[in-house]
Amino acid sequence: MENKKVLLGMSGGVDSSVSALLLKEQGYEVIGTTLELYAGSSCCNQNTYLDAKNVCNQIGIPHITYNCKDIFKTHVIDNFINTYANCQTPNPCIECNKYLKFGFMYEKAQELGCNYIATGHYAKTEYHTQYQKWVLKQSNAGKKDQSYVLWNLPKHIIEHVLFPLSDFPNKEEIRQIARNHNLKVANKPDSEDICFIPDGNYKKFLETNSNLTPTKGNIVTKQGKILGTHTGLYHYTIGQRKGLGISNPVPLFVLGFNPNKNEVIVGEENELYQKEITVSDINLLLVDNLPNWTEVSVKTRYSSKKAKASIKQEQNNIKVIFEEPQRAITPGQSAVFYIEDIVLGGGKIMK
């Protein structure tokens, strides 16, 4: 008889709450869990725990909390700080998914005798006959699809991951299910910001939680011409136009950094486009390696559209050549590779 016991990550929001309802209706034995990640964050406060616990009580499932603050600090906060310190732009959700929601939580699921873990992400897992394995796919949620932030999950657990919201095209349907079941979280707003920086001021967070301090330097062109001064390298990101404090006949954008000289490099918009990138820290979900050139679609930001490209593995990195040059590709962000709607894998953009 199939083990239908599942550990569900619950943030106190409407997505994970409705996921609990749907799983229970589908005959799963559901245990809700809330991970304590960072005191005062938008997904880790007293209201979060209470909302999750109340939903569990209302639909008749147990609820457990785990203190994960040390793991979160090591793998998410410290990574966030180090990435900015190295003039790159991090995506903390991807680290959290790897180490917390699909790392720690899967370990706890096994301890509890659960065959599955589940979250309220908009993504999909299914067995694919062509590849003869379980695959991670895009959901039916269009722009809200979250497969981009899941490329780094351990591939051996894909067959043990459930995404109950995979077939819903929009959030309003989710909210309506919550209203129909009289869940108090039905109209709870989405949290859009980085959870541990609820006020959105990442510069202040970095300066409060690390030894990063704003050190002024020059804003220069690629040719080294000084155009003005900046307030600290981590205050800027590639593609940024506003807030540079320089005047020029044509608009200028941040192209990159020279940490050795403490310089922000700027240029015109056409200089933001590039056709080739290198990706490191790779995680391939569909295959074990990519010795030959493979045609894929690539997303270089959560909100970006897929772009056609060819990729090939070179030792521990992947080389990506786009059909059309792409704008403002940012080191530290993720490049995620798709074959149609299946996630082939991904990695961190180096350059």
Q: What is the pLDDT of residues 83-104, one digit of tens each?
A: 999 999 999 999 999 999 999 9
CB contact set of 153 (below 8 Å; sequence gap of 6+): 97, 98, 102, 136, 161, 283, 285
Cβ neighbours for 111, distance < 8 A, ≥ 6 positions apart: none
Q: Give residue-wise pLDDT tens across range 313-340.
A: 998 999 999 999 999 999 999 999 999 9
Global confidence as pTM: 0.94
Task: Report pLDDT digits (tens) over 144-191.
Answer: 999 999 999 999 999 999 999 999 998 999 999 999 999 999 888 887
pLDDT, tens only, 242-293: 999 998 999 999 999 999 999 999 999 999 999 999 999 999 999 999 989 9
Q: Token pair for residue 14? A: 């409407």
Total residue count of the chain as it appears in this document: 351
Separation in Å, CA 65 to CA 71, 100, 141, 207: 15, 13, 29, 30
pLDDT at 187: 85
Average of pLDDT values for 203-217?
94
The owner of tokens 């209203």 is 179
Q: What is the mean pLDDT of the chain?
A: 94
Q: What is the pLDDT of residue 38?
A: 86
- CA–CA separation, 26 vs 167, rounded Å? 14
Query: Could you tell me if 135 and 147 are in contact, meaning their C-beta atoms sit under 8 angstroms apart?
Result: no
Catalytic positions:
96, 195
What six digits make up the tokens of 64?
């457990």
Domains of the chain in start order, with CATH, are 5-187 (3.40.50.620), 214-267 (2.30.30.280), 273-349 (2.40.30.10)
Helix (H) or strand (E) holding 323: strand 317-327
Beta pairing partners, 337: 298, 345
Q: Rounded distance, CA 113 to CA 7, Å?
A: 9
